[in-house]
Every structure is written in C-alpha cells, then in structure tokens.
Structure 1
Amino acid sequence: MIDTDYVIGQDNFQGKMLFSVDLHGKVFGISALLILLFVVLTLALQEEVSPLFNGMREWLTNNLSWFFLSAANIFVLLAVGLIFTPLGKVRLGGAEAKPDHSYIGWFAMLFAAGMGIGLMFYGVSEPISHYDTAMAGITVENGMRTDWAPLGAAAGDAAAARELGMAATILHWGLHPWAIYAIVALALALFSYNKGLPLTIRSIFYPILGERVWGWPGHIVDILAVFSTLFGLATSLGYGAEQATAGLHYLFDVPDTNVTRVLLITAITLIALCSVVAGVNSGVKRLSELNMGLAFLLLLFVFFVGPTTELVSDFFTNLLSYATHLPALSMPFSRDDMEYSQGWTAFYWAWWISWSPFVGMFIARVSRGRTVREFLIAVLVVPTLVCVLWMTVFGGTAIGQVESGMDDVANAALELKLFMMLSHLPLSTITSLIGIILVMVFFITSSDSGSLVIDTITAGGKIDAPTPQRVFWALISGVIAIALLLGGGLGALQAMVISTGLPFAVVLLIGSFGIIKGLMSEPRNQN
C-alpha cells in the first residue's frame, strides 16, 4: 500500500528528495557523463562504430522482436482492461478534482501530441513501402519465404495491396503506440496528482520499492528513462534532418550531404535554445500552435486536391481493415512476417517506448481531473483516429499516384517520397516548402519539449528547474543526433533507440504492476 501522506511539494524538496534538484544530483551527473562519453567516442571513432551500430540493430531485431511485440501487446491489454474494470472510475487528482481543460481543448492537445516528425517522414513512405511489397507477391528461395507477407501478398491485385499495406501501416500508428504512451501518462498522473510524488519515472515504483525508490534503485530507473528519452528524441531529430535536407536539395539544389545535415541540426538546435530561454508559454507553445495550423492546412490541401471521395471511403475501409487484421499483425511469433516484424514493428515499438516518457509526461500534465476510464478512451481513440486520417490522406494519395503510373513516387528514397507526392499536386513548390517548415518546427518543438522532460526527470520531478539545465539537454540532444548520423546514419539511430528501448520496456512492464497497486488504493465511489 502506498503511503498517501508522503506528499512532496513541487518547490519543497527536502531530505531524501534533494537527490537531483541541481547539477550535483546523481541522475543528472551520471546521465550527463555517460552521454558525453558516448558522443566523444562516436565522433572520434566514426568508421569503427558504424558496423557496430548496424550489427547491434540487426542482432536486437532478429533475436528480440518477439519481446518488443509481446510487451506492446501487454500494454494494449492493460490499457483496454482498465477501461472495463472498476479501477476506471478513479479520478486523476482525487475524487473532487475538476478537469483543467475543456474536452475540445484537451482533445486538441492530444492531437498535438500525436503529430510529429515521424508522421511527416513516414506518412507517404510507409504506406508506399508496404503497398509495393504486397503487390510484389510471394517469392520463395530455398524453401523459405523471403518477403514480409504478414497478411499474405496481393500478387498484383492493387485493391488488396492497398488494403494490406494500409493495415500494416496503421498498426504502427494506432492502438499500440498510444497504449504505451497512455500507460506512462497514467502512471505519472496517478502518482503525481493522487499520491503527491514527484513527476518522474521512479515514482511509479513506489508501491514496489517503497522508500528505496529514493535511493539507487530509483536513480537507475530515472537514468534509464533519461537515456531512453534522449535517444528517442535524437532518432526523431535525425529523421527530421534527413527529410529536411532531402527537401532542400529537391527544391533549391542544396547539397544532400552530411555537412548540410550537421549545419541544419546545428542551426535548428540553436533556434530551439531560443525557445528554451523564452519559456514554455512564449516559446514552444507558440511554435506548436503554428505547426498545428500548418499541418492541418497541409492535410486539408492534400485531401481536397487529391482523390477526395476515394479518401473519405478509404478512411473507413482502412479502419475496418486495421481492426480485422490487428490480431494477425500483432502476433509476436508469426512464421511469415519476419522481415516485417523485425525490420518495421520491433523498431517502431522500441522507438515509441523510448519516446514514451516525453509524450507520457505531456499527456499527464494536461489530463488532471479526468477519470481513468475517460482518460484511456480519449488517449487511445482520439490520436489513433488522427493518425489513421493522416496516413489515409497522404499515403492513400501517394498510392493512387503510383497506380496511375507515377513511378517517381514509388522509386524515391524514403525521405523524399513526401515531396515527390506533393510534386504531382497543384502549388507543389509552396506545399513542399510548407512541408520543410513543418519538419523544422517539429524539430524545434521536439528538442524544446524533450529537453524539458529530460530536465524534469534529472531534477527529481521539479518542473521549474533552472533554464541552464534545459539548455544543456537541448544542446546534448542535437549533438547526439549529429554523432549518430555521422557514426552510421539512420541505422545508428535505429540501433540506439532499440538498445535503450529494451531496458526501458522492462522498466515499464514492472511499473505496470505498480500502476495497478496504485489504482487499487484509490477511492472509486465516483460517477
């Protein structure tokens, strides 16, 4: 049972809680030292570390894809299960707590959390990739199936390939990632608002570890959360740099080289620092509002100038296809989808797990006053529908172009597919420029918000730690993205996000038990 009298104020850290309020804290010191050492070695030994990173990625996905798929399934089952149990009546913030935001405002912020560099990078490229492999049919070499074929192959049937490709895409942007985020957000909100504990990952383990959570066991949990978040953030920044560079090369013939990527990451990181110094309300809030408006306008533009009627129909068809094929796609031991589950799903689940402290803390901070039931329903359903809509509009439009013979869309590199799709629509130069701006501003807001989350963790849950600490983490996230791109490109980014996602997945699985214990200690006599 949790000691509900053990209340810690946001600005009153004393005794055992003094562990990481300033730069001398163990979590901050150890995390910063290890990360700086990693950056120095990666930059100094670029040729040596590249094959190491690629080998790590291959070994982890080949041997542990079953673990990532199983863990994600557990999070989905836990989130859905809590909705239908009496524990769903628990109110975040206590029985008398009132929501801080209206439903419309709350849904808008959940929508904002669901948008990011990943949707810009994969919104066109992933549906096209799965569509192409489904269209190719099943090939057999030495008695082994060599394609991903998680649902069978369409073998030239365009309608079937579209259905299978979109179902396989939506898996990675639907219930599973949002269940991961929901569990982390629920835990942070419950233990912060209801139990009075700091807004940090170690608090989830209080029901399991008791007072030991303020010692080394808790330090280790928070250090793993820092590493997980930082490399998840660096991966997103790396993808953003790749796509922005490709777009600038396509529009303005800017050299598509590592020098350009480094300069781009450096420039955007410096802009992010200005946002950090300006503060959340003046900096990241305004940039987020700008980006949400631009993203919505771009979505509407593609929807109305693309095959509008077909896209409306496809939205519901894709939802049905996703629901129909969800059990088969999420199976961890399927015999026919090794390339799909290892090359795509295992990486995605590790990425979402690494990203979960960031998104989870954001969701927790805007969800006070909601019951667990309405919280989980909203977090699972609203962002999932937004992601399905985004993938349907961008991916569906691109697939239609490929079916019409526009081979440049199908043959372009992943980071260039969005711009190739836009090139076949009106006002392509303007929309492509908006796409680049979106990627860059997502880059800035991700760096700013991510540094805030990491700083909160390393400051023991203190949400108003000194600005120089956030500046430090914003700089470090940019430097890590540069180091990984130079030390192995996207393969290195994927390798590190899987490597850090693995131990943090174990942390979340154990922490799930703490969530249940915490909810069971709460009053549930609420309507």
Structure 2
Amino acid sequence: MGENDQKTIEPPLTELPIAVSEDGFYSGFSKHVALPSKIIVSLLIIWAIAFPLNAGEVLGVANATLIQMFSGWYIWLVGGFLALSVVLALLPVSGRLKLGQADDVPEFSRFSWFAMMFGAGLGIGMLTYSTGEPLAHLQNNPVIIAGEATALTEGAVRSAYLYSFLHWGFSAWAIYALAGLSIGYVAYRRGLPLTIRSGLAPLFGRHLTGLPGHLVDIVAVVATILGISVTLGLGVEQFVHGLHRIGLGEWLLAEDASASTAAIIVALIVIVGASTLSALSGVGRGIKWLSNLNLILSFVLFAAFIVAGSALLSLEIFGRGLFDYIVSLPALSFGGASSDGTSIGDAVAQWQLDWTVFYWAWWIAFAPFVGMFIARVSKGRTVREYILGVVLAPALMCFVWLALIGGTAVDLVLSGAGQGEIIGTVISDQLYATIAALMSPGLAYGFSILVVVLLLTYVITSADSAILVVNTINAGGNSEDHGRRHIIFWGVAIALVVGSLLVVGGLGAIRTAMIIGALPFSFVSALLAIAVVKAIWRDTIRMRHGVDCTSGADGDG
C-alpha cells in the first residue's frame, strides 16, 4: 500500500463535545437534555393525576392504534437484532475486538458482571413471570387457539414453554446487547461520552453535538423512565401481595385483589427511597453489593424448588423447551401473524400483539437503560465475550428459572393440588400461591419473606441503575459526578409516574404508556445497530492498513 493510499483512510472520531452548564443548579448537566426530559415526564405525571379518565382513554386508543400499525416492525426489528448479534460474535474479525484499549482489563469479576446484568435487566420480571407466563400460556397460546392442544392439559405444556422461552430468551438480550455494544464500543475504544448519542457517532459524526444528539438523548431518557415504570409497577404489585401473604393486613389489597392506593404509596416510598440512596452510592458500592445479594438469594430460592419442587419434570421441560425454542426460533423471529378475517387467524394475531409485540416494545424501552448500564460495567471485554455473556448466559438462566419455578407451578396445577389456589389468583400472587401449595405453612411463610426481600433487592437494583443511567445521559455521558439533587429528582419522578399510572389504570396503563414511549426509541435502536456495524467494519479496514482505530486525530466514523 502506498503512502497516498494510507492518507485516505482516516482515523475514527475521538471527540464528541456535549455542552454542559458550568455553574448553577445544572452545573455539569446538559440543559438541552435534562430540562426537556424533566418537562415531558412532569407533564405525563400531571396529566395522569389531574385528568385520570382522559389519560386512560387517550392511552388506550393510542396503544391500540400504534401496536397494530407497528407490530410487524417490532417483530422484524428484534429478529434482525438477534441475527446481527450472532454474526458479530462468530466472525473472528469482529469477535476479537476489545471494548477498550489493548491493555484494558474488566473492572468487575464475571460473577458481579452477570449479577448486575441480570438484576438490572430481568430480575423483577422473572419473579412475576416465572410462574405467571407458563401458566398463562398453559391456558392460551397460538397452538391452543389453533385447536392443536387443549388448555390446562399436559398436551399444552410444550407449546406453553416454547412461547415462554421466546419472550425471555436470546431475542430480548440481543436488544440489550446491541444497544450496549454500540455505546461501549465508541466510549471505550474512541473516548466518546458514555451516552446514547455517542453510539450513533459512526453514522452522524459531529452533528450529534447539537439538536439531533439532544433529541436522541431525550427520547432515551423518556423511554427509560417509562420502561422502568413497567418493571417497578410489577414489583410494587408483587411486593404488596407478598406483604399481604406474610400477614401485614387486608388494607394492602383493593376489592379486585390489586394493590390498594395506600399500599402503592407505602411501597413506592420504601422502594424508591432505598433506590435513590443506593444510586447516590454509585455502581461500585450500592448497586454492586445489592446485585450480588439478590443473585445469592435467587440461588437460595432456586435450591428450595430443586428440593421441594418438581425437579425431574422441570428438567424434562427445560430440555424439550430449549430444543423446541432453538428449532423454532428462526420462524418465530421473523413470522408475524396478521388478521385474516377468520376467528383463529384474528385470535392468533391478537395474542401476538398482547404478548410478543408487548414484550419486544418493553425490552426496547428498557434498552437505553440496560444497554448503557451493561456498557458501563463491560469495559475491557472482547466483542465475542460481551455478546456471549450478555445474550447467552442470562437467557439460559431465565430458561432454567422458568422451567423449575414455573414447571413446579404447572405440575401443581395439572395434578389438581394447586388448581384453584394458583390459577385462581392474580399474576402478582401466583409465586406466593405456588410456595403455599408446595410447602408446609411454616416453610411457606419463611420463603414468602425471602421472596419479598429478594423482590425488594431486585426492584432497588433496577430503579437505582435506571436513575444513574438517566443522570449519566443528562450529564453528557459523565458517570462520575452523581449530581445528588438530580438523582433525588428522578427517584421522585419515577415514583410519581408509577404511582399515578397504577392508580389511573393499574399495570395496563403503565404498559400502554411504555409501548407508546418505546416506539421512537425503536428507530434509534435500529440506527445504533447499523452504527456499530459500520464502526467495526471501518476499524477492520484501519487495522488492515495500520491506521490507529482507538486514538489519534479526529476523522470519520
């Protein structure tokens, strides 16, 4: 290669200045991001509290319209994310690249790394849906709708787990992995700020220092707040049912068996107060130790189900479910159902909207938060180690959890031992009902307390991680200066969003708001995936020609 050829290959962009205030209340923060984000979230809170009926109606109409229009987009987008993750991990040229400089080593051990990823990403959902999802699909799923299996029979177990694994499997974690990879790649290799807009730098370069970058970060903040609100909403409901199970009073539940308004307020004060205190302590202290604690408590609960639960059936469910899932994954990833005018076709299409499309929207809304958080704790790992660690390990843990905890509940239901007590209660209470049907009253009481504590650690870990991520985005990628007053603001804001929407319309209202908020970020997610592919491709060319791709004079993407 000649000297003139080498000069045509520019080094990557290594500076993306984001203007922040130098003094006052917003010192160290970007007013262009922080203020609009706070205004949007505050208006949502005011609307939900002051005009609850109007808020419920508008959210319902918007949800029905958007989820119908963009269902195919969500299905194909998430399928594409999974396929791209596999390619990037398997290709030697991309897999060996490191998120960082050549001599960088991981900050956290693999145990702490995995614990923080699992706790921030899916911990709360797993406690609610470990029993709730298999039992729901045991009663209704596309195979049952098509008449190929009968609800609440052994013949429905296999299809119930196929769809349970789909929703909690590799696809969900591929969404997180690509979001985090796009941010971590340019942050640790090129020194760009640890924020969402930086992930798009390989596509848009210095244009992201202005309005386009501000808009991207604002969309990410709002999506994060709405995504974490769904998770906290689930956590609050299950936390309240746990308190009721251990005898703290009938005042905790309303007439419809949902959490009462008073219980929601008390639970949010406890949960968000603890989360805010943990966020103030930073990632290396509060979040790390809480993540390790909740993983240890998870193993204790897991071990109890191995001893007392349906371990052999669960092992069979895991094996068959994993086989069915892997074989069916390509078709399920790119096979969107559509209404065809028949009762079966319409019912399958509606089921996919209610379940699969909802989940993909939920994971996408969570992507800026979980993606940035995973990027924050993944410096020094190779692309292959990162993708395998983020996509495979937590997903397999979810499968084992669903098979053992959910399989025990399924066995109790099919045998008749827990038919009324488990199926007959709300999803937030089904894990406690399973424990009550499985163990003696004394043991059940003790393990119900353990679940309450475990749930609290997961809720706190998710909330404090979200608060820190939002603060980091608002601070232009600076994760060191915590901004105590702003952490407190976002803690209160999250509590008010969750509380107001729970009171307005329960978990349905929070889910609806999240799906609407996830749509704009789904387009950002697609651009992030394209950007990281371009960044890796350009870096392989640079390395081939001896051009520095981790530092040097500013160039292109």
Aligned twin of 2:140: 133
Structure 2 CA distance for partners of 1:181 and 1:370, relative to 1, 3 Å: same
Q: Is the 8 A contact 1:188 1:201 kept in 2?
A: yes
**Structure 1 counterpart of 2:554:** none
Q: Which amino acid aligns with 1:377?
A: L
The residue correspondences of 1:104-119 to structure 2 (distance < 5 A) are 104-119=111-126
1:301 counterpart (301, 304, 314): 304
Residue 202 (structure 2) pairs with residue 196 (structure 1) = no
Q: 1:367-378 to 2 correspondence within 5 Å?
A: 367-378=378-389
Q: Is the 8 A contact 1:192 1:199 kept in 2?
A: yes
CA contact (8 A) 1:451 1:474 kept: yes
Query: Across the two proteins, how many residue pairs are aligned to each other?
Result: 509
* Equivalent position of 2:430 in the other structure: 417
Q: CA RMSD in A?
A: 2.4
- For the residue of structure 2 that corresponds to 1:90, the secondary structure is coil
Which of 25, 28, 37 is matched with 1:31 structurally? 37
Q: Is the 8 A contact 2:20 2:28 kept in 1?
A: no
Between the aligned partners of 1:400 and 1:18, the Cα distance in structure 2 is 59
Alignment TM-score, normalising by the size of structure 1: 0.91
Specify which of 485, 490, 503 is matched with residue 520 of structure 2.
Answer: 503
Residue 177 of structure 2 is aligned to residue 182 of structure 1: yes
| Structure 1 residues 23 and 52: alpha-carbon distance in aligned structure 2, compared to 1, 3 A threshold | same
Q: Is contact 2:362–2:514 with CA below 8 Å preserved after alignment? A: yes
Alignment of structure 1 residues 446-457 onto 2, 5 Å: 446-457=462-473
In structure 1, runs of 5+ residues without a counterpart are 9-13, 139-146
In structure 2, distance between residues paired with 1:30 and 1:210: 23
Corresponding position of 2:402 = 391
TM-fit CA distance, 1:104: 4.8
* Corresponding residue number in structure 1 for 2:353: 342
In the other structure, the counterpart of 1:84 is 90
Partner AA of 1:500 in structure 2: G
Q: Distance in 2 between matches of 1:220 and 1:15?
A: 13
Q: Identity of paired residues, percent?
A: 33
**In the alignment, residue 187 of structure 1 is paired with which amino acid?**
S
- Do the aligned partners of residues 307 and 352 (structure 1) sit closer, same or farther apart at CA in structure 2, a change above 3 Å counting? same
In 1, Cα distance between equivalents of 2:58 and 2:220: 23
Give the gaps of 5 or more residues in structure 2.
Answer: 1-8, 254-259, 339-344, 547-557
Q: Deviations over 1:440-493 (max 9, x none)?
A: 222222221110000000110000232221121111111111111122211111
Cα pair distance change 1:30/1:2, threshold 3 Å: farther
Query: Which one of the candidate residues 428, 445, 451 is aligned to 1:429?
Result: 445
| Residue number in structure 2 paired with 1:215 | 210
Greater Cα offset, 397-406 or 441-450: 441-450
- Deviation at residue 370 of structure 1 after TM alignment: 2.0
* Match in the other structure for 1:141: none
Q: CA deviation at 1:102?
A: 4.6
Residue 5 of structure 2 is matched in structure 1 by none
Please tell me whether the aligned partners of residues 53 and 488 of structure 1 are also in contact (alpha carbons under 8 angstroms): no
Counterpart residue number, 2:372:
361
Report the Cα offset of residue 5 of structure 1: 5.8
Aligned counterparts of 1:361 and 1:239: Cα–Cα separation in 2: 22
- Partner SS for 2:107: coil
Structure 1 contact 276–467 (Cα < 8 Å) conserved? no
**Structure 1's 185 and 27: CA in aligned 2 closer, same or farther, altered over 3 A?**
same
Matching residue's letter, 2:413? V
1:41 correspondence with 2:44: no
Distance 2:319 2:143 in 1: 25
**Displacement, 1:103?**
4.3
Q: 2:316 is matched by which residue type in structure 1?
A: S
Deviation at 1:509, TM superposition (A): 0.6
**CA shift digits 1:371-405 (9 cap, x unpaired):** 21222122211111100011011110000001111
Q: CA deviation at 1:275?
A: 2.1
15-24 vs 513-522, which deviates more? 15-24
After alignment, is 500-509 or 481-490 more displaced? 481-490
Give the 3-state SS of the residue equivalent to 1:333 in structure 2.
coil
Contact 1:65 1:332 in 2 (8 A): no
Q: 2:327 aligns with which of 324, 328, 353?
A: 324
Check whether the contact 1:185–1:361 (CA below 8 A) recurs between aligned residues.
Answer: yes
Q: Secondary structure at the match of 1:334?
A: coil
CA distance 1:104–1:15, change in 2 (3 Å): closer
Instruction: State TM-score, norm by structure 2.
Output: 0.86
Match of 2:3 in 1: none
